[in-house]
Structure 1
């Protein structure tokens, strides 16, 4: 029997997306690479733990959970995150940014300056621009100010991001238009904290990094893995945690966060045998095998 591996997530490096595995193994992903794996027969998805520590109970978690954590580990993980506002004494400088995911879909957020654009790649931002840089609490106050003044959210569900990728404008200037307009409004607001330095507009476009130019629109997304089920397809694009895989039935999106917590083995089949939800599927229709 083939050895089962456990995936610890997708990360973005300077050379592109990389799948990480427990034990330190890394799989670099390049366009055209065949992505093929199966969930071990009789396998159960278990909690991945929190903050580098294993789950003390090895609790089972739902197949559709993108966090792959039990309630207790999820609570512990969030309690030590910037998003939970529990790190007020973090001395690192933070960037405030505007990120664009598609027409009419812009968010404001913050990320540690030392991380560069990694957070934007992880979120699947098609393009972005910095707005300012300064201490964490000043960045957080500015984020709230901009969210209210510009009427933009600080979170956008991944399902909504996927839905608009097929409608991206072809030109980089067109993709940058909304951020350009909002950046001008943002830096003109008078109530910025004094300790946060405004930054000039510099729109960074990720269409080439994600491989999205000219890629066929996805027809559906994997809704969850199942014991014995397989995923197989040629990698044509990637954005955030999502892999766009070419299959016989069209391009299917796999959220790699669904891979965590499972024991995975090499797959022999040529097509996916896991539940795939069609993007145009009517609400309330049960998933079927792809």
Structure 2
């Protein structure tokens, strides 16, 4: 624990690994299997338990509960893990659970994520890098989230759903299916409402690439033929376009949840 700044009221269990420059504030508790990377900060009243590894530079705010037993009745004490990446910000009263035997034994959050107050990440969820979860978002068990996804406040994601990279989920949405990469989903139950054009432009995607993606979206979610037929047509027509092929690959991938569709055919995107 050399070079760490630990408040005298904090309780650090024997066996915990504390990196250089770590700051642990008043009334925090750190369990015996926890690893805190360099310059992690637990501001105050934070509890970190279980086999939990937190990456360098991550900050966790008061009353967050990280690494405690999953909220899954099938959990029977297996030595599962939670991994949180570097430079994440985890705000007040967030809860994050480790994995379970039935889901790969791992919950994982990527680098540079912002998880706002009172949000929840359940067992066996996998989040990519640069994910933003606004207040009170609930991500259920076994959900997979790609890079650069943004969740609006108080939305919830059904277990086993997939959220593709660069997608946007509108506030108060209930998502019970898979959202394509670059897609935008809104509503209860949520439907696909087009592409996340604002996000694409903010992240400096090429204008022509966005035009091709819009054309592929219109083709994939047109009313003629079956979804699989339209996906295969788009795969061939845009075979040299990496963004379209990412969407095609996402839809082709086996999943226990359906692909989210527009409500009335091809919505404006």
Instruction: Sort the TM-score into its range (normalised by shorter chain).
Output: under 0.3
Q: Which has the higher contact order (CA 8 A, sep 6+)?
A: 1
